[in-house]
Every structure is written in structure tokens, then in C-alpha cells.
Amino acid sequence: MELKRALRASEETLRRLIEASLQGVLIVTKEYEPLLANQSCARIFGFASPAEIMTLDSIADLIASPTLARLDAFRTESLDGSGPPSRATREGDLHAGQHPQIRFTSLRFASELPSI
């Protein structure tokens, strides 16, 4: 029980750090479905709030086609083990945004998380 309480507290701390970050944070699935976004990310993509991003089925339409193609290739290589390590950073362009360059950091996570 104590371990679960400590895990919840740790998760809440991490969530608060992400939400308060001046750097845009967006976590998506491999299909680009948003799982978490902060206010800075919402501003970068031209949304009023992270809640607007979370209503999207995919953020793929927000990313310029050449950048999306590079991200797709990187994701495929990462998942099949033929590409870069589990963490890598790429730069690309947004569609008609005020911030034409954006840095994407990809992290590979285990498909199954251990239960507590």
C-alpha cells in the first residue's frame, strides 16, 4: 500500500512539472494520438489549451509532410531495432506555425509496464 501511495505521489509530481514547464511537452502514441500535452505545447501548435489538443484523434495533420515522413521512418526503425537507440532527437517543421522549427525527442518504452 505504501508503494502505491509513493507511486501516486511521484506521478503527481511529474504531472505538475510537465504542466508548469515552459518547454512544450506532448506525448503521443505511435499513431500520433495525444496522450498528454501541456500549456506551452498548446501555444506552440496554436491552441488555447491542452484540452483542445487532447480532442484530436491524431496530431499528424499538424506536422509538415516531410517531417512526418522522417518521424514515421524513425519510429519504424526504432521499433524493429534496426535504427537509432531508444532515445533520439530530430528536428522538423510544423505546418504554418509561428515556430517553423520544432525538436522531437522520441523515447521507446516497454510495451507492457509491470504491475504494482
Please indicate, yes or no, whether the overall pTM of this predicted structure exceeds 0.75: no
Q: Give the CATH number of the domain where residue 65 resides.
A: 3.30.450.20
**Within a domain: 115:** no
46 vs 56, higher pLDDT: 56
Count of domains observed in the chain: 1
Give percent of the chain with pLDDT exceeding 90: 30
**Within a domain: 113:** no
Task: Please check whether residue 78 is in contact with residue 86, taking contact to mean a CB–CB distance below 8 angstroms.
Answer: yes
* Residues 87-111 pLDDT 10s: 555 556 565 554 456 666 666 655 5
- Mean pLDDT, the chain, whole residue set: 78
Tell me the C-alpha to C-alpha distance, in Å, between residue 87 and each of 23, 109, 113, 116.
18, 10, 18, 26
Residue 45 lies in domain: 2-107
* Residues 48-73 pLDDT 10s: 999 999 999 998 888 877 778 877 88
The pLDDT of residue 86 is 55
The pLDDT of residue 71 is 79
**Within a domain: 28:** yes
CA atoms of 74 and 71, how far apart (whole Å): 5
